[in-house]
A and B are shown apart, each in its own frame.
Chain A
């Protein structure tokens, strides 16, 4: 079908995942993880699984990001390694 869109979204997902793994700042990593979840939701919606895309957008990109940010601010922000 629209396989070019799939390829673009897959590349964006991989870039966001690598960025979230490599960056030192934990807050930026969390935001990159939210972007990863959002691209995954768009990919799922494009594949026709709208129910799963709903869940991914609401839970993965919304609630999980907020929970991670709160966890970071409760603990220390900078990574040690």
Chain B
């Protein structure tokens, strides 16, 4: 009985999400707002501008280079943090 309020809140949240899901565009919809602005430019020009048939690679490493650099810095920071925290023995 203690779990009843939690279940009610979760059911309400699930109902809200299912209600909102009806308005989402379909997967791969060309008319979706996310596919309106720069995606068309990438698909049309990536082949001739960066000579990479795999558009994903061209976008990740060239057009969105800052993003990928940030990701790499995040991974590097994670490694350095584990190196600092998990190394035992203190001062060497």
Contact = CB atoms under 8 A, between A and B. Distances in A.
Direct contact of A and B (CB under 8 A): yes
Interface of A: 47-48, 51
B56 A51 contact: yes
B37 interface: no
A24 B35 CA distance: 44
Interface of B: 27-28, 56
B75 to A, nearest CB: 10
Contacts of B28: 48
Nearest to A67: B82
A47 B27 contact: yes
B4 to A, nearest CB: 20
Contacts of B27: 47
Contacts of B56: 51
Which 3 interchain pairs have the tightest Cβ spacing?
A: A51-B56, A47-B27, A48-B28
A48 B28 CA distance: 10
Nearest to A6: B27
B39 to A, nearest CB: 14
A51 B27 CA distance: 17
Contacts of A48: 28
A51 B68 CA distance: 14
A48 B56 CA distance: 12
